Structure 1
Amino acid sequence: MEDRFSVLVSKVLSEEVSEKEKEEFFQILSQNPDYNLRYNQLKEYWNADIQYHAIEKREQVGDRIMERIKSASTVTTVRLSSLRIIAAAAILFFITTSALILYIVENNSSSRNAFTYAAQTIPVEYLLTDGSKVTLNKNSSITIDSDFGDKYRNVKLEGEAYFSVSKDKYRPFVVETKGTKTKVLGTSFNVKSKDHNVITTLVEGSILFTSNNCEKILRPNEELRYNVETFEYEKYNCDVQLNTAWVSGRFNYSGISFETLVNKLEVIYNKKINIRDSKLANHIVSASFLVDEPLENILDALKGELKFSYVTDDANHIRIMSK
């Protein structure tokens, strides 16, 4: 049964399965919940376009796919990671481009493996073995050891990621980047590592940020900016939407004044927008728009409802007037 499942799942994912084989395959899934779980996980990462880069010849990939699938049911603490490897290996057999690349670095001095997941051109979500979700922004990566979740839940970050951490009071979740650590038990937060700065934004729950000279607890809607060269830091209240909109791909604001919305648009688009009417500025609005939506499209959508017109004085200045 295991061998047959291995053959059929490869054919189904590559869309080279006959109707008779497809019927047989789904009959196997209906009779075995474990096979059904493994198929769904493989399909998820197949659709995410993952490539597997391993130190082996391309002609060996086919054999390793079968070996990985056969051994997957015996893996415990790194089972999900292993399933990712299976799917990624299969994908390399059929595709040549991807948005996410998986690298495997083996430490010859021990039995531990390090897995690095890197999002390239688009944000990619990854489900960790403890149930936590990590969304990597483009040009970012996380690295975890194969013993992740045994006693510790440590990840190393390069770039930016949004974490939704499963609660576990016995095993804190720790994000390490540029010599700093963000420690949580269960929460949602964003960490961005850029140039000499580490910026941590808390959405919900609480987190402990630590470095050589800084140990601060953050509450929801607070952000901490830390400079790893000067060791200077600043903690302040923030607009979570501005800093985490890249995760969902949208900005969503509800029940705020038009003036407040315009202030946020100024930050997002780096333009100066002047409202010439106080009554218009105090009008309550709601708005939802894509992170890459042109500013003119947003203003055009609002001007009909709010009865205003606007003039672009130059590349960086806009005036809004009531009709």
Structure 2
Amino acid sequence: MSNEPSHLIVRYLSNEATPEEQEELLNWVSASADNQRIFQQYAVAWNKDEVRIPVVNKTRALQSLNGHIDLIEEESLKRSRPLWLKIAATVTILAISSFFVWSVVLSPSEIEYAVASTISGQRTTIQLADGSTVHLNASSSLRYPIQLNDDTREVFLEGEAFFEVSRDPSKPFIVHTDAVATEVLGTSFNINADSATVAVTVATGKVRVSDHLKQEILLPNEHLDIVRHSGEMNRSHVELGVALAWMNNTIVFDDVALDDAARKLERWYGVKIVLESSRLSHCRITGTYRGESLRHVLEAIHFTTGAQFQISDNGRVTLSGKGCE
């Protein structure tokens, strides 16, 4: 059809779609059975060179997709619910619908996956079938198998999580973050995958991080940044207490640019922070805050940078001032 949003479908299947684009696509898919069929055809074609497509029960697949779409439409009718609940439900449903394409339509072994998602300001712990534990940070999502298969233990992460992996040399544990794979046998490590980089920090054991071109072996207290757009890998040594502070409900800023600090505070407190002047992004801050309120942290930023702050009724924070050189 001429009106099919092929660009949105491609961005969605390549994990590049923004939340707004995901919502637009799912609205289009839910509009008709023809749109659902077109979406399924794209999904199968997208992966045909990577996996062997089994005989698919199309009726079952369509019913499953319809079920997820019905949930979206049902949520859209509940206008009285708080905005953050609507966002959380939408994000979770979008994640489940995309994983449905893999597990029901594309997976030769018919592996069943579960999805755990957190919203801004929320953290959770997940116990996997092999005994491994995953601590999921705010605004993050983990797709993991409900039961183990015979060869590997593979999970899929968006956002940040700390993994405590049960040792099993016969079944490598692999964390996928887009094109980057982190493989271990039994260890503990942190992964933070944002829009610009994938960062891996090792607490115990040994970790292998690889993309399509190269790989690095990391040991305890080592940290690796992989730049998404270039694939560049930068290794360094870190202080684990700083790198893993979020697990102790602690925010640590160590000479951090104010705009980067603002993004971290957004995820931590579930707010939107706007810098009125680009010169504010030149300011750098240092500080440790454990269990502190947002207002307390903002007051500390004001004291060190001179930036004024205003918190609106809807939770939006505006930072203003002359900024820094």
TM-score by length of 2: 0.50
- The structural deviation recorded for 1:166 is 0.9
Match of 1:208 in 2: 208
Query: In the TM superposition, what are the counterparts of 1:1-323 in structure 2 within 5 Å?
Result: 101=92, 103=96, 105=100, 106-108=103-105, 111-121=110-120, 122-250=122-250, 266-267=255-256, 289-290=290-291, 294-295=296-297, 314-315=306-307
Distance 1:145 1:230 in 2: 31
Contact 1:200 1:223 in 2 (8 A): yes
Q: CA separation of 1:142/1:127 partners in 2, compared to 1, >3 Å: closer, same or farther? A: same
Q: Given the superposition, is the C-alpha separation of residues 206 and 312 from structure 1 closer, same or farther in structure 2, using an over 3 Å criterion?
A: closer
Does the aligned pair in 2 maintain the 1:205–1:219 contact within 8 Å?
yes
- Per the alignment, in what secondary structure is the counterpart of residue 244 of structure 2? helix
Distance across 2 between alignment mates of 1:313 and 1:210: 39
Q: Per-residue deviation at 1:55?
A: 6.2
Q: Residues 257 and 285 of structure 2 are in contact (CA less than 8 Å); yes or no, is this contact kept in structure 1?
A: no
Residue number in structure 2 paired with 1:76:
none
Output the CA distance in 1 between the equivalents of 2:305 and 2:125: 41
For the aligned residue pairs, the C-alpha RMSD in angstroms reads 4.0
Cα contact 2:125–2:136 (8 A) shared by 1: yes
Residue 16 (structure 1) aligns with: none
Deviation readout 1:93-147 (Å, 9 max, x if unpaired): xx99697858473504654323222112301111001111111222211112344
Which of the pair has more CA radius of gyration?
1
Q: Which has the higher mean CA deviation after the structures are superposed, 144-153 or 234-243?
A: 144-153
d(CA) in 1 for partners of 2:245 and 2:233? 24
Instruction: Check 1:313–1:195 CA distance in 2 against 1; reply closer, same or farther (3 A cut).
Output: closer
Structure 2: state its 5+ residue gaps. Answer: 1-63, 69-80, 262-282, 309-325
Does the residue aligned with 1:171 lie in a helix, a strand or coil?
A: coil
| AA matched with 1:242 | V
Q: CA deviation at 1:200?
A: 0.6
Structure 1 unaligned segments of length 5 or more: list them.
1-52, 58-94, 253-263, 275-286, 300-310, 317-323
Q: Is the 8 A contact 2:156 2:177 kept in 1?
A: yes
Cα displacement (A) at 1:288: 7.6
Choose between structure 1 and 2: higher strand proportion.
1
| Contact 1:199-1:224 at 8 Å conserved across structures | yes
Q: Deviations over 1:51-96 (max 9, x none)?
A: xx99659xxxxxxxxxxxxxxxxxxxxxxxxxxxxxxxxxxxxx99
Specify whether residues 230 and 248 from structure 1 end up closer, same or farther in structure 2 by C-alpha distance, changes over 3 A only. same
